[in-house]
Amino acid sequence: MNNIPNEAWSQLEGLAGEERADVCLNLSYSQFKSSNYFAAQILCESALDIYFNLGTQCDTSKIQDAYKGLSHSLKHLEKFEEAAEISLQAAEYLQSFDDEAHREALHSAADSYYSANLYDSALSLYIKILVNPMNIFEDLSLARLFVDIAFCHQELGNYLESNDYLKNARKLFVRALEPRNVAFVDEEIALNYFHLENATECLKYAKYCLDYAIMLSDKPRLIYSHNRMGLAKILNLQFDSAISHLNRCKELSAKEQKSDFELIVTCERALEIAYRSTGKIAEAEAIARRITNVLASNQEVH
């Protein structure tokens, strides 16, 4: 426990059994809040070991809290696969006690697998949650689950399946009067149609999300909707308009504290296509060189 600060360690001296586990768990909260995630991980692991050694005497909610704290700590340490495995252990343990807690643990595992780029594993868990007849969903919870499933399909290149789930989510967001979430979903539907090379549908949904973003002056949505409109214009062979929207996306993104790197790369690739298509070969070549250099430099260890 060398990573635990001395003042925290001193609180554990002389303690044993459930009392020691309880203090470990409480200390893990303070360490987590202080961004000392490694210490929080160790404390949660210690608490879990003690609770399980106590057997049936231990309160189930304490074990659930220790599992949850351990999973959150691992996520913040970017140990996503480990976090997923811990959440699966929690789900197995909780299955006999609490249906809602079991579902929450499965969802946490799926989220961690997604963060680890293990999209097949994430998808199978999201689907497992969806088809479980014991699970009863409110509209917004179901809509968000549809979005999670859609994102997995999108990452796996299953764009039609992704749009099926996005459109189901869209209906629920419309019914719940959630226009921002509707616009968010429209952005992803437009992106999928771009990959499917469906110019008409891509433009249709790009217009939906851009209209919302302009009307509400919603800057994050403006960034993404200009990107989607730029992509739609490329499919519709309106290259000058595409260049305008894609550059607007980059301008707005540059003003953010943290830009979406993948989004900018998408813009650059699309701009290269647009410039080549309008005979601006020098500009296109400059962008192609820039993309190659930036991507290469981000793979090097200096």
The reply to whether 186 and 286 lie within a common domain is yes
At 302, the pLDDT band (50, 70, 90 cuts) reads: very low
Residues 73-86 have pLDDT tens digits of: 999 999 999 999 99
Whole-number Cα distances in Å, 42 to 11, 63, 80, 105: 15, 15, 16, 20
| pLDDT tops 90 at residue 165 | yes
Whole-number Cα distances in Å, 48 to 42, 96, 99, 173: 10, 18, 21, 39
Residues 171-210 have pLDDT tens digits of: 999 999 999 999 999 999 999 999 999 999 999 999 999 9
At 263, the pLDDT band (50, 70, 90 cuts) reads: very high
Structural domain includes residue 159: yes
| pLDDT tops 90 at residue 42 | yes
- pLDDT of amino acid 6: 66
Structural domain includes residue 199: yes
- pLDDT of amino acid 257: 79
Q: What is the CATH number of the domain that holds 275?
A: 1.25.40.10
Per-residue pLDDT, averaged over 60-82, amounts to 95
Which residues are within 8 A (CB) of 250 and not within 5 positions of it... i.e. 6 or more apart?
Answer: 264, 267
Structural domain includes residue 267: yes
The reply to whether 191 and 297 lie within a common domain is yes
CB 51 within 8 A of CB 66: yes
Q: How many CA atoms lie within 13 A of 68 on its CB side?
A: 16
- pLDDT of amino acid 131: 94
The reply to whether 205 and 286 lie within a common domain is yes
CB 177 within 8 A of CB 193: no
| pLDDT tops 90 at residue 59 | no
The reply to whether 272 and 199 lie within a common domain is yes
**Position 117: which residue type?**
N
Task: Report the range out of 6-15, 44-53, 95-104 with the highest average pLDDT.
Answer: 44-53
Q: 159 lies in which domain range?
A: 138-171
The reply to whether 244 and 282 lie within a common domain is yes
Q: How many CA atoms lie within 13 A of 92 on its CB side?
A: 6
CB 125 within 8 A of CB 113: yes
- What does pLDDT average to over the chain? 92
- pLDDT of amino acid 296: 84
The reply to whether 183 and 161 lie within a common domain is no
Which residues are within 8 A (CB) of 198 and not within 5 positions of it... i.e. 6 or more apart?
Answer: 235
CB atoms within 10 A of CB 164: 16
| pLDDT tops 60 at residue 2 | no
Lowest mean pLDDT among 10-24, 148-162, 225-239: 10-24
| pLDDT tops 70 at residue 270 | yes
Structural domain includes residue 277: yes
- Report the distance separating Cα 107 and Cα 198, nearest Å: 33
**Position 161: which residue type?**
E
Structural domain includes residue 61: no
Question: Percentage of residues in the chain with pLDDT exceeding 70?
Answer: 95
| pLDDT tops 70 at residue 141 | yes
The reply to whether 204 and 150 lie within a common domain is no
- Report the distance separating Cα 270 and Cα 253, nearest Å: 16
The reply to whether 185 and 155 lie within a common domain is no
CB atoms within 10 A of CB 92: 12
The reply to whether 217 and 160 lie within a common domain is no
- pLDDT of amino acid 5: 66
Pure H helices in 118-178: 119-131, 139-155, 159-175
The reply to whether 145 and 210 lie within a common domain is no
The reply to whether 188 and 252 lie within a common domain is yes
- pLDDT of amino acid 91: 95
DSSP H or E run through 5 = none
At 295, the pLDDT band (50, 70, 90 cuts) reads: confident
- pLDDT of amino acid 301: 42
Structural domain includes residue 299: yes
Number of domains in the chain: 2
The reply to whether 267 and 233 lie within a common domain is yes
Structural domain includes residue 257: yes
Per-residue pLDDT, averaged over 269-294, amounts to 94
